[in-house]
Structure 1
Amino acid sequence: MSKLTIEVVTPERVVYSGEATMVIARGVEGDVGIMPNHMPLVTPLKIAPVRIKTVGDKETVIAVSGGFMEVRGTQVAILAESAELPEDIDVERAKQSKGRAEQRLNEKHPDLDIRRAERALQRAISRLEATKNI
C-alpha cells in the first residue's frame, strides 16, 4: 500500500511529521482528501482541523489556523500560521475564547473588528473540534 509523507510546519516548529494513508483538509474551495499520488496541488487553507489517517485506521487531528497545503506525489506539506495537536490544547481556555468571541459578535459594538472576532471564533471552534478524539 502506498503512503504519504506529511509534514505540518509553523514558523516556530515542525508540529507533525510522519506517514499517512490519507490527509483531509479544508481548503478555501471546500474539504479536500489527499491520497498517495494525488495530482500536484497548492491550496490556501481555512481555519479548521486537518485529519491525518494512518495505517490501521488511526487518526491524528491537528487544529490548523490558515496557511497553505502543497501536494506533490506522495509528499504533503502544510505550512500553517499556527497548528496544535490535541494534547497541546487547553480545552477550558478554548471554550472561554469561543464564549468571548461569540459575545463580541452578538454585542455588535460600533468599534468591533468583526473579521478579527470571527477568526477568533473559528480558531476556538477548530481547537475544540480537534480535541474531540482524545
Structure 2
Amino acid sequence: MADPLHVEVVSATRVVWSGEATNIIAKTTDGDMGILPGHEPVLAILVAGAIQVYCPDATREIFAVDGGFISVAHGRVSILSEYAATATEVSLREAEKELAEARARLDAGEDDEDTRQHFAWASAQIRAAEKLRL
C-alpha cells in the first residue's frame, strides 16, 4: 500500500487542518475529484462546498470551503480557500439563517459579488454540516 497523503487545509487566516489521508473527495469546476496516494500532480479550481478527507485510522474529516484551489504533487495535497472551516465548527442553524438572508437579498435584486459570496459560503457550510451527519 502506498504511503498516505499529507494534507493541509488552509484559509486566508489560518491552517484549518493538517494530517494524513488515504482518500480525498473534492468538487472542482470540472466535477468531483477523487485523490488517492500516487495521484498525478494536478492543480484544480474548487467550487464552494464540502470536501471529505478519509484518514488512515478510518475516521473522516469534512471541510466547508467557499471555493479556492486544490494542489496535488508528490504525496502532498494543499487545499487553499479564502474561507474554510471544519464541519464540526459549523453551526447549522447560523448557516441556514445566513443562507436565508443571502437568498432574500438576491431575490430583492442585490446580485452583487458580496451577496453571491455570502450565499456560496452559507451553502458550503450547510453541505459540510449535512455530510457530517451521514
Q: State TM-score, norm by structure 1.
A: 0.88
Q: Cα distance, 1:64 vs. partner?
A: 0.8
Distance 1:6 1:56 in 2: 15
Distance 2:127 2:12 in 1: 23
Distance 2:45 2:73 in 1: 15
* Structure 1 vs Structure 2 CA RMSD: 1.6
Q: Cα distance, 1:104 vs. partner?
A: 2.1
Q: Cα distance, 1:56 vs. partner?
A: 4.5
Distance 1:113 1:105 in 2: 5
CA offsets 1:52-101 (integer angstroms, 9 cap, x no match): 01124321110011211110131101111111012221222111111112
Distance 2:63 2:103 in 1: 23
Counterpart residue type for residue 49 of structure 2: A
**2:63 is matched with which residue?**
62
**1:43 is matched with which residue?**
44
1:128 partnered with 2:129: no
Distance 1:125 1:55 in 2: 29
Q: Cα distance, 1:17 vs. partner?
A: 0.4
SS of residue matched to 1:57 = coil
Unaligned runs of 5+ in 1: none
Counterpart residue type for residue 22 of structure 1: N
SS of residue matched to 1:38 = coil
Distance 2:70 2:88 in 1: 23
**2:15 is matched with which residue?**
14
Question: What is the aligned-residue identity percentage?
Answer: 31
Unaligned runs of 5+ in 2: none
Aligned positions, number: 131
Q: State TM-score, norm by structure 2.
A: 0.88
Distance 2:84 2:96 in 1: 17
